Amino acid sequence: MASAGRLRRLAGLAGDGLLWAALALAALVLWLPHSQPFFSSLFPQLDRPVYSQEPFAQLLWQHCKLVGLSSAVSVLLGSAIAIWITRPIGRQFRPVVETVVSMGQTFPPVAVLAVAVPVVGFGELPALMALALYGLLPVVQGSVSGLQSVPESVRQSASGMGMSPWQCLRQVEVPLALPVWLYGVRTSVIINIGTAAIASTVGAKTLGSPIIVGLSGFNTAYVLQGAVLVGMLAVVADMAFERLSRLAAWKR
């Protein structure tokens, strides 16, 4: 029986797309520094076909850190805004808040970086500001949609049971809104993974560094290496959120 259970667990792991995607990303990061023969055959005209200014593992970590920090700001701020404008005290401000947040995403991240750099200088801080602003709209939209999807009869039942507005929000509305909220967070994070590559234009070290260096030096191999890593990271993150969404829907 124990061996049968182990076999079922192994079969489950074998069919786990998230695990395989994460392993593929890790293998790619480890293989790229040793991939010169491969890229030399693809781009024989290039003297240095493999990006080597920073280790790919370090760039991946810095990219994930920047996306994680900016997404955390977007999620915390966006969720707080959504809760405020769906309560009686802030409902009248909802059109203004949604307009302002929507306008924030209409500005290209490069424009935000260009404005932020003279104020705070080069590095990760302007990139963090731009990514947090750019990822705010999906979180606000997802949070508002999730909270509004809770039936009014459920709120009235919670109130009739003696729950305070805060208890109703924490114990009833938030759990029911979680799947839709997660969809907004998922969209925000995926957007930030791709947009974070632009942060290398202001001195932040990310997976966009090979892309920026490759574009400025007409090195297609560098661009390809950075783009594939960014794409694989986005796939892993998307599959992870898909798993979380299924888990949240199952627990409802």
CATH classification at residue 97: 1.10.3720.10
Average pLDDT, whole number, for the chain? 84
Task: Look at residues 190, 155, 153 and name the one whose alpha carbon lies nearest to residue 70.
Answer: 190
Which has more confidence, 196 or 118?
Answer: 196
Confidence of residue 6 (pLDDT cuts 50, 70, 90): low
The percent of residues in the chain predicted with pLDDT above 70, rounded, is 85
Q: What is the number of structural domains in the chain?
A: 1
* Residue burial 155-192, b: 16+ Cβ < 10 Å; e: rest: beebeeeebeeeebbeebbbebbbbbbbbbbbbbbbbb
Indicate whether 4 pLDDT > 60. Answer: no
User: What is the pTM (predicted TM-score) of this model?
Assistant: 0.84
What are the backbone angles phi and psi of residue 83, rounded to the nearest 5°?
A: -65, -40
Give the domain extent around 32.
2-251
Distance CA(178)–CA(194), nearest Å, equals: 25
**For residue 228, pLDDT beyond 90:** yes
Per residue in 10-29, pLDDT tens? 445 444 688 899 999 999 99
pLDDT classification of 120: cutoffs 50, 70, 90: low
The tens digit of pLDDT for each residue in 14-67 reads 446 888 999 999 999 999 999 999 999 999 998 899 998 899 999 999 999 999
Q: How much is the pLDDT for 136? A: 87
Cα 193 to Cα 105, 119, 205, 216, 251: the distances in Å are 15, 24, 13, 22, 28
Of 246, 189, 223, the closest CA to residue 46 belongs to 223
What does the pLDDT read at residue 30? Answer: 94
